[in-house]
C-alpha cells in the first residue's frame, strides 16, 4: 500500500465536473457594462489572489485528482461539506459513482447528485479517495465496488472517509490494523473488520484519515487542505466558510446528549447498524 504522502502525483486529464480550477477569483463577479465599482472589485480580487499565492508555504493542488465516491443512499453532508473545502485547493474534484456514470445517484435525504465518472472505470491514482457514509450496507453488498475501493485505495496518496464510510474502507481491507473512527453508533463495528476503534473526531494513521459522523467531514477536509496546500490556505478557507460551530443545542455526542437520548437514537439507527456488522471470522 502507498503510505507515503507527497506533494505531486502524475495524473492524466479527466473529463467531467471539477471545481476550484480558476484561482483568479474573477469568476466571483459578473461585469455588467462599464461599471467602475465592479471592475475595481475584480481588480482587488485578482490582486488578493496573487498576494495569497505569494504567502510563505502557500501552494495549490493543480493537476491532482480527488475522488468523492457516490454510492446509493450516501449521506449528503458527508459529500458536500468536504467538497466545499476541497474544491478550493485547485485540484480536479470528481464525483464518482459505484454504478453507471450516466445515472444520478440518490442520497439518503432524497437529493440526487450527478457523477462525472464511474468508479470502476478509474485508472488514475488519486491524490485523495473519499468515501462518505449513509446507507453503507448497500455499498458493502456491491462486490465490484468494494474491489474498486481496494484497488484505488492501494494507489491513493490519502485514503479517507466520513461517518460510516470508514466501515466500507475497513471491509475493503484498507484499515487493517489501523486506528480509525466512524459515526458513534457504528464505531464499535470497526474492530470486526480488523481496525482499531478510536473515539476522536478525525483520526489519522499513516495515509488513512477517517472522520466521525457527518459534520466531522468538514474537519477532515480542512485537514486535507492543509496537507495539500499548506496551513495558510486552510486558514483562508475556514474564514471564507465562516466555519466556527456554536450549536444552539449542544447534544452532538453521546457524552453530551446523555444516556436516554443516546439510547433512543441508537434504537432509531439499529437497522442501518446491523447492515454493517462484520460476518464472523
Which residues are designated catalytic?
A: 163
Residue 246 has pLDDT above 60, yes or no: yes
Residue with cell 504567502: 55
- pLDDT tier at 30, thresholds 50, 70, 90: low
Residue 28 has pLDDT above 80, yes or no: no
Angle at the Cα of 12 (from 9 to 15), degrees rounded to 5? Answer: 130
Asked whether residue 182 is assigned to any structural domain, the reply reads yes
What is the C-alpha to C-alpha distance for residues 60 and 52, in angstroms, rounded to an integer?
11
What is the C-alpha to C-alpha distance for residues 201 and 218, in angstroms, rounded to an integer?
10
Cell readout for 58 is 502557500
CATH number reported for the structural domain that contains residue 138 in this entry: 3.40.50.880
Asked whether residue 40 is assigned to any structural domain, the reply reads yes
Asked whether residue 135 is assigned to any structural domain, the reply reads yes
What domain count does the chain have?
1
Q: Supply the pLDDT for residue 7.
A: 43
Full domain range(s) for residue 262: 26-47+59-275
Asked whether residue 96 is assigned to any structural domain, the reply reads yes
Asked whether residue 210 is assigned to any structural domain, the reply reads yes
Asked whether residue 281 is assigned to any structural domain, the reply reads no
| pTM for this entry | 0.86
Q: Supply the pLDDT for residue 24.
A: 36
Asked whether residue 11 is assigned to any structural domain, the reply reads no
Residue 267 has pLDDT above 80, yes or no: yes
Cell readout for 177 is 490494523
* Contact present, 69 and 129 (Cβ < 8 Å): yes
- pLDDT tier at 54, thresholds 50, 70, 90: confident
Asked whether residue 191 is assigned to any structural domain, the reply reads yes
Task: Give the residue from 71, 61, 64 showing the smallest Cα distance to 95.
Answer: 71
Residue with cell 480542512: 222
- Determine how β-strand 112-113 pairs with β-strand 105-106: antiparallel
Query: What distances in angstroms separate CA 57 from CA 8, 9, 52, 61, 226, one per listed residue?
Result: 15, 19, 10, 13, 10
Amino acid at each position: 500500500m502507498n503510505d507515503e504522502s507527497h506533494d505531486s502525483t502524475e495524473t492524466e486529464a479527466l473529463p467531467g465536473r471539477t471545481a476550484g480550477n480558476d484561482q483568479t477569483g474573477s469568476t466571483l463577479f459578473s461585469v455588467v457594462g462599464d461599471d467602475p465599482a465592479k471592475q475595481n472589485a475584480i481588480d482587488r480580487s485578482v490582486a488578493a489572489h496573487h498576494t495569497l499565492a505569494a504567502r510563505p508555504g502557500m501552494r495549490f493542488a493543480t493537476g491532482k485528482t480527488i475522488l468523492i465516491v457516490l454510492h446509493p443512499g450516501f449521506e449528503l453532508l458527508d459529500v458536500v461539506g468536504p467538497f466545499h473545502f476541497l474544491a478550493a485547493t485547485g485540484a480536479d474534484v470528481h464525483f464518482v459513482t459505484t454504478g453507471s456514470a450516466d445515472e444520478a445517484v440518490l442520497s439518503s435525504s432524497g437529493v440526487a447528485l450527478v457523477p462525472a465518472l464511474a468508479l470502476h472505470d478509474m485508472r488514475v491514482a488519486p491524490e485523495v479517495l473519499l468515501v462518505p457514509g449513509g446507507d453503507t450496507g448497500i455499498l458493502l453488498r456491491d462486490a465490484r465496488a468494494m474491489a474498486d475501493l481496494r484497488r484505488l485505495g492501494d494507489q491513493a496518496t490519502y485514503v479517507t472517509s466520513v461517518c460510516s464510510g470508514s466501515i466500507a474502507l475497513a471491509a475493503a481491507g484498507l484499515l487493517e490494523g489501523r486506528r480509525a473512527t466512524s459515526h458513534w453508533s457504528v464505531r464499535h463495528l470497526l474492530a470486526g473488520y480488523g481496525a482499531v476503534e478510536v473515539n476522536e473526531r478525525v483520526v489519522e494513521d499513516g495515509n488513512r484519515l477517517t472522520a466521525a459522523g457527518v459534520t466531522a467531514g468538514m474537519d477532515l477536509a480542512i485537514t486535507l487542505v492543509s496537507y495539500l496546500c499548506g496551513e495558510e490556505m486552510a486558514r483562508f478557507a475556514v474564514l471564507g466558510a465562516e466555519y466556527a460551530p456554536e450549536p444552539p443545542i449542544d447534544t452532538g455526542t453521546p457524552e453530551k446528549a446523555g444516556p436516554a437520548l443516546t439510547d433512543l437514537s441508537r434504537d432509531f439507527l439499529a437497522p442501518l447498524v446491523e447492515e454493517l456488522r462484520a460476518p464472523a471470522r
